[in-house]
Structure 1
Amino acid sequence: MNIPRKPYDLLRSFSALSLLTIVIISTVSAILLSRFLRETLLERNGLLTLEFVQSIAQSQNTSQYFSEPDSAKRQGPLDDFFNRIAHMPDVVRANVYSRDRMVLWSTEKPLVGRQFPENNPELDEALGGHLAFHTGRVAAHGKSEHILFAPEVEEFVENYIPIHGPDGTVVGVVELYKLPRILWETIARGQRLIWISAALGGLFLYAVLFWIVRRASRTIVDQQQALVEAEQWAMVGELAAAVAHSLRNPLAAIRSSAELAVESEDAATRECLGDIIVQVDRMETWIRDLLLYSHQPDGNAQTANLNETFRQSLTGFGDRFARRDVALQVTLPEPSPQVRADPHLLGQVFNSLLANALEAMPNGGQLQVSVERRGRQITLAMNDTGIGLSPEQLASVFKPFVSYKQRGLGVGLALARRIVQRYGGRLELRSQPGAGATAYLQLSLAE
């Protein structure tokens, strides 16, 4: 037993996968940009501090006192130098290390003279001659030099600034603990902007891609439906051609018999036989047009007189409208416009529309026909006061082999729209249950 496969829903699959992908890409991009912004601003802040400290050290020739063995001789110059540094904006603590990691000077006096031999990557990097910086929270840190840190200090920046001697070697390191509030606010604003931009950019990208795929999905569905209809019409064409060829011989025999009977019957009978001959000729014309239609895939350059063609179709329905007690109100423009269409095929379209309007008014009513011109377009509106159509019926009324009549085949309106589209026109139907229906036939004026 073959289980039918469920049709692939392109729009639903794209909606889920694209949303997940865009969210991941936007999140990763925002995280990377936020880190880049933070690291770049912190590094820039450290470089500015480095340039400031080294300029003061060079102007005061402070580097020579780092290697001074007599603490009394080095204390005075170092106090003057580092007091300036300690009063820099945002600085909450300053430590000065010698080459052997001993604290030579500090804003926290209990730290002076202490040595911190444990691993300190930032201090190691600064002793190697490079600027190092580190951020963190006091509660999350385990470094011993963080003792005696003020309780209100939560998030800080450590800048490890190497001090070079006259020969270019590193003689010491200045460690500055800073609370750069403005810097943190700038970073926070920049990160918020990054996240907002990533969210809005992702949303915009998703909306654009969704619109494109939705349009493509609709196009695919329309093309699939068109292929199905094309297959159905190909079958109809083959069947119609076969039936039409088969009907021509019986019709010819009927016409010949009627012509022979006319000569021997009374006047009333001859009139009826004349009607038979006329109707057989009309059927013969329709069959010929149907055969031509099935072998001409594209619209040709024929023109039709709109008023004359419509009146000819209306003549064939005169008695039927009278029997149904349907009042006609027809307003056609003068002079009659010439439209791009085959007269016989256009007549078939009118016949189909009139027949459907008549079927919709079994207990009588009114049929109004009017024509409006806009530029190079002519629109014929045919409004009836019949039973109308539901939205479900209206959605499928032009589909081949879909009919809501007891004896209908579902070909009339579908064939009418196909004929109109062949000549670049449009055929639409608007209706509401109990409020009648209006058919709009739009055609182009002939050149």
Structure 2
Amino acid sequence: AQSQNTSLYFSEPDVKKRQGPLDDFFNRIAHMPDVVRANVYSRDRVVLWSTEKPLVGRQFPENNPELDEALRGHLALHTGRVEAHSKSEHILFAPDVEEFVENYIPIYGPGGIVVGVVELYKLPRILWETIARGQRLVWMSAALGGLFLYTVLFWIVRRASRTITHQQQALVEAEQWALVGELTAAVAHSLRNPLAAIRSSAELAAETEDVASRECLGDIIVQVDCMERWIRDLLLYSHQPDGNTQTANLSETLRQSLAGFSDRFTRQGIILQVALPEPSPRVCADPQLLRQVFNSLLANALEAMPKGGQLRVTAERRGRQLTLALRDTGTGLSSEQLAGVFKPFVSHKQRGLGIGLALARRIVQRYGGHLELHSQPSKGATAVLQLSLAE
């Protein structure tokens, strides 16, 4: 505007003489990108030229601090929305114009005096769309971030809850072991000596009595041995880990346990199938305690097949672990029975103490292994034993 000497037209009193040059110059400005209206003000706030012809000659003296700023010689900028209580010069805006940016550009005349102001209304749709996309992106990022934080916190809280539950169960189990230890000491001292005396007396009497009496005395000896085994199981269950790293030959230990049940396999008509890897692997476990685990699993399998069946024993290496599976074709267990098989002193047998499988799992866990039991009613059961291989 300064280079085209436009300021000369601001002082021209004849409207017709100034309108032509102003139209020629400001029409070019009005057709700039995103410009929706252009107004030219004189110093007394009268509209000298406008893209909206009805505004020419009107004066808007009120509620326009940006125009006041430009008349003082400063470039002014204002953004806002077209509203009923906004500036009076906002009349005649098209219905689609809601938000705008208005620029007030002072025009200087000779001597650096402000002779007028050019007002440009711009509608930067691309800018608004970019801002809107940015806002949507921010909200979406905030939502995704919140969801991520919620997921992470939920996972942390859930993991902490499981840890607390596991620790509570461990405390309860530790209390049970302490109780079993006290009970075991009392049982061992109170029953072992009388049981030994009963067994010795029964053996001596069996040497002199008749056949019928010897059978009864034999039953007494069997029951005494059974009670001795129960006491031994209690002692093993209450014994705390000593931290010794021992190894056991899997095949040898398993075959020793199988040999102890060979008569029952034959008597009950159970078909035994054994498939073990060669050479026999060594696992991290005490041989005697591992044999106790096998004895408990085999005894339960035999009790589940009183009328015969099939027992399959398989083992395979999986990295640094060895997995042993015992599958029987017995009566199986219900879901309620399966839920309590590893709980101490919980038994579904008339003559059981409920510590066989609990003891077996405790022994396996002592050496960093796992013992699980899978079963369905009338579909047999599968005991899965996992132990670490010895280096």
Give the TM-score band, short-chain normalised: 0.7 to 0.9
RMSD (Å), alpha carbons: 3.7
Alignment of 1:136 with 2:81, yes or no, is: yes
Alignment of 1:159 with 2:88, yes or no, is: no
Distance in structure 2 (CA, Å) of the matches to 1:172 and 1:406: 110
Number of the residue aligned with 2:32: 88
**What secondary structure is seen at the aligned counterpart in 1 of 2:3?**
helix
- Displacement of 1:65 in angstroms is 5.2
Distance in structure 2 (CA, Å) of the matches to 1:301 and 1:378: 17
Distance in structure 1 (CA, Å) of the matches to 2:138 and 2:220: 84
2:97 aligned partner, one-letter code: E
Alignment of 1:358 with 2:302, yes or no, is: yes
Kindly tell me: are residues 102 and 404 of structure 1, through their superposed partners in 2, closer, same or farther at Cα, counting changes over 3 Å? farther
TM-score where L is the length of structure 1: 0.73
Distance in structure 2 (CA, Å) of the matches to 1:336 and 1:172: 104
Kindly tell me: are residues 233 and 97 of structure 1, through their superposed partners in 2, closer, same or farther at Cα, counting changes over 3 Å? farther
Distance in structure 2 (CA, Å) of the matches to 1:275 and 1:332: 37
- Displacement of 1:196 in angstroms is 3.4
Number of the residue aligned with 2:134: 190
Matching residue within 115, 121, 124 for 2:59:
115
Q: 2:236, 2:359 within 8 Å by CA — same for their partners in 1? A: no
Kindly tell me: are residues 279 and 442 of structure 1, through their superposed partners in 2, closer, same or farther at Cα, counting changes over 3 Å? farther
Kindly tell me: are residues 61 and 444 of structure 1, through their superposed partners in 2, closer, same or farther at Cα, counting changes over 3 Å? same
Alignment of 1:405 with 2:349, yes or no, is: yes
Distance in structure 2 (CA, Å) of the matches to 1:393 and 1:282: 24
Q: 2:103, 2:121 within 8 Å by CA — same for their partners in 1? A: no
Q: 1:63, 1:163 within 8 Å by CA — same for their partners in 2? A: no
- Displacement of 1:369 in angstroms is 1.6
Number of the residue aligned with 1:386: 330
Alignment of 1:106 with 2:50, yes or no, is: yes
Alignment of 1:241 with 2:189, yes or no, is: no
TM-score where L is the length of structure 2: 0.82
Alignment of 1:229 with 2:178, yes or no, is: no
Number of the residue aligned with 2:360: 416
1:134 aligned partner, one-letter code: T
Distance in structure 2 (CA, Å) of the matches to 1:428 and 1:381: 10
**What secondary structure is seen at the aligned counterpart in 2 of 1:60?**
coil
Number of the residue aligned with 1:16: none
Kindly tell me: are residues 132 and 391 of structure 1, through their superposed partners in 2, closer, same or farther at Cα, counting changes over 3 Å? farther
- Write the deviation string for residues 60-93 of structure 1: whole angstroms up to 9, x where unpaired: 3445654x37355765654443222112122232
Q: 1:289, 1:345 within 8 Å by CA — same for their partners in 2? A: no
Aligned ranges for residues 337-356 of structure 1 at < 5 Å? Answer: 337-356=281-300
Distance in structure 1 (CA, Å) of the matches to 2:287 and 2:227: 15
- Displacement of 1:165 in angstroms is 3.1
Kindly tell me: are residues 101 and 309 of structure 1, through their superposed partners in 2, closer, same or farther at Cα, counting changes over 3 Å? same
Distance in structure 2 (CA, Å) of the matches to 1:220 and 1:396: 21
Q: 1:162, 1:170 within 8 Å by CA — same for their partners in 2? A: no
Kindly tell me: are residues 273 and 338 of structure 1, through their superposed partners in 2, closer, same or farther at Cα, counting changes over 3 Å? farther
Number of the residue aligned with 2:249: 305
2:91 aligned partner, one-letter code: I
Greater helix content: 1
- Displacement of 1:318 in angstroms is 3.6
Distance in structure 1 (CA, Å) of the matches to 2:177 and 2:272: 34
2:39 aligned partner, one-letter code: N
Kindly tell me: are residues 282 and 143 of structure 1, through their superposed partners in 2, closer, same or farther at Cα, counting changes over 3 Å? same
1:132 aligned partner, one-letter code: L
**What secondary structure is seen at the aligned counterpart in 2 of 1:388?**
coil
Kindly tell me: are residues 375 and 332 of structure 1, through their superposed partners in 2, closer, same or farther at Cα, counting changes over 3 Å? same
Identical-pair percentage: 79
- Write the deviation string for residues 342-379 of structure 1: whole angstroms up to 9, x where unpaired: 22222221222122212322333221222223344332
**What secondary structure is seen at the aligned counterpart in 1 of 2:316?**
strand
- Displacement of 1:333 in angstroms is 4.7
Q: 1:86, 1:93 within 8 Å by CA — same for their partners in 2? A: yes
- Write the deviation string for residues 154-203 of structure 1: whole angstroms up to 9, x where unpaired: 33414132315377775543222334343344344434433433333333
1:120 aligned partner, one-letter code: N
Number of the residue aligned with 2:317: 373
- Displacement of 1:385 in angstroms is 0.6
- Displacement of 1:384 in angstroms is 0.6
Aligned ranges for residues 270-349 of structure 1 at < 5 Å? Answer: 287=231, 291=235, 294-333=238-277, 335-349=279-293
Q: 1:298, 1:422 within 8 Å by CA — same for their partners in 2? A: no
Q: 2:67, 2:76 within 8 Å by CA — same for their partners in 1? A: no
**What secondary structure is seen at the aligned counterpart in 2 of 1:59?**
coil
Number of the residue aligned with 1:24: none
Q: 1:126, 1:132 within 8 Å by CA — same for their partners in 2? A: no
Kindly tell me: are residues 242 and 392 of structure 1, through their superposed partners in 2, closer, same or farther at Cα, counting changes over 3 Å? same
**What secondary structure is seen at the aligned counterpart in 1 of 2:390?**
coil
- Displacement of 1:427 in angstroms is 0.9
Distance in structure 2 (CA, Å) of the matches to 1:168 and 1:362: 117
- Displacement of 1:417 in angstroms is 0.6
**What secondary structure is seen at the aligned counterpart in 1 of 2:57?**
coil
Number of the residue aligned with 1:208: 152
- Displacement of 1:278 in angstroms is 9.7
Matching residue within 113, 121, 124 for 1:180:
124
Q: 2:332, 2:379 within 8 Å by CA — same for their partners in 1? A: yes
